[in-house]
Each structure stands twice: as structure tokens, then as C-alpha cells.
Amino acid sequence: MPVVLFHVDAFTDVPFRGNPAAVCLLDEPRDAEWMQQVAHEMNLSETAFVAPAGETFSLRWFTPEVEVHLCGHATLASAHVLWETGRLPVTAAARFETLSGVLDVRLQADGWIALDFPAILARPGAVPDSVVEALGVVPIAMHACGPRWLVEVESEKIVRGLAPDFTRMRSVLGRAVIVTARSDDPSHDFISRYFAPWVGVNEDPVTGVAHCCLGPYWGPRLGKTVMTAYQASARGGTVRVEVRGGRVLLSGQAVTVAEGELRSGEFRGRTTFEVK
């Protein structure tokens, strides 16, 4: 049977901005090898696979190279698709069974989608010299956020001007590196970029998981629990961040760009794309 597939731009209300994700709606779970092949074919930072699981949904995420344990933008995109297609009432929360436990996603009154995710605490720790040199920056602080590195730099200008050497970056084992600074724009509290060449994503456009760390990191420094963040990739996107103890509420918007069918491993897109 054909698998319905959606291309959704997440953490944006404008097509061709934010972070694109593919969302595959399955009637039943599929094996990991097939899902990895589809994700490689889609060649987006993440492809999400959603299947019914009783009163909840099973959700798995794959980059072009590996399965990941937590992904923000593809979760947001998956909930958006369930509500938009009528598979779930807009008044109901989307509950996903994932490798990171049960994740609740709700549609807020203003149309933003709120993800209830675990907080990731930053702990002081050195970043390998090769990674710092590949970034071409002078850090003012370095931390570990689980398997990721966090580098704070002096200004937004430095964050926006980054042009990493990804070949050098991959010369050491790693997962991802987040570079961040306070924002110069009063409409945003902090700014960041996210690089993950180790999993096949040189730069992720807008990264929900990064803000699970950035929220608890910046909150005490700014004296806030509710913040607005901007991820300054070429596509760019805004994330609302609310720190709630051991949880972080991440909010964003989403736009469906295209819908198609995946048949026997061969993708056959429809002849018309709907752009909203």
C-alpha cells in the first residue's frame, strides 16, 4: 500500500523557511532498515515515521544516516500533519511514544504548536580543539549538553558569520555543536546555530533539541523562564522557550509545502504542490 508523505517546514509560518521535515504516515510500524532508506532518499535533516499505537502514536526520527532519540522540528511537523489531515482533532493533544518516552504536543489558541520536551542541562566541559578551530571562534564559555557541545561566543555577529570547516570538524568523534550568543535584536533573547556533520547534517536550520539545552542555559543568565530564540541558519526560524523545571516547552509554527505518496521504495510526488 502507498505511504502518504508530507513535506513540512517547521518553526516558521512562511514556506521555504524554518526547518523542513518529511512526515510518513504509516498504517503499521515498519522495520528500521526501510525507514533509514526512506530518510536517506528524502535527504532532509530528519524524516519522521508516525504509526497508530492504541490511543497514542508511535514516532521515530531518522537523519539521512542514523536514527535519533529526540527531534523537535519533525515532532512539531508530525503533530501539524495529524491535525491538518483530520487524523486527530485539533482540540486533542498529540501523544507520541518515542525513544525518549511519551511526548505531548498541543495546539495553542494562537496557532503555535507547543512541545513538552525534557530539559538538557549544560555542564562545563572542554570542546575538542579541532572543533573550536573548525568553527574559527574564541569561546567565552564551553559546555557539554548530553552528547552535544555548547559554545558561547561574544556576539550575534560572530554567530551569524560562522563558516565552519566540516571536514576538520569530523576529524574527531562527535554528535553536534551548538554555537550561541545573546541577541542584539530586542525581539529575541538569544541566537544560535547548530552543526551536526557527524550524523549527516552539516547545519540544521532550526533545532528543537538544541533549545532543550539553550533554554536552561540562558534562563538563569537572562533572569527569565520564558524566552524567544532565533536560530540563524540561512533559512532561519523562531522558537519560543519556556523552562519548567526538568521540562522545556518549545513552541513554533508549521507550514505544509507538499504532499505525495511513497510506493515500494519509489517516491512519486503528486503533480501539484499546495503552498500555503
Whether residue 170 contacts residue 198, with contact meaning beta carbons closer than 8 Å, is answered with: yes
> Cα separation of 52 and 171, whole Å?
41
For 67-125, the three-class secondary structure string (H helix, E strand, C coil) is EECCCHHHHHHHHHHHHHCCCCCCCCCEEEEECCEEEEEEECCCCCEEEEEECCCCEEC
Does the annotation mark 242 as catalytic?
Answer: no
By the 8 A CB rule, do 230 and 160 touch? no
29 to 57, 87, 98: CA distances (angstroms): 10, 17, 13
CA distance 201 to 213: 19
**Of the candidates 112, 84, 105, the residue with the CA atom closest to the CA atom of residue 11:** 112
Which among 28, 33, 41, 46 is annotated as catalytic?
A: 46
Which one, of 148, 219, 147, lies nearest residue 190 by Cα? 219
User: CA-to-CA distance for 231 and 10, rounded, in angstroms?
Assistant: 12
Residues 104, 238: Cα–Cα separation, whole Å:
20
Q: Could you give the residue numbers annotated as active site?
A: 46
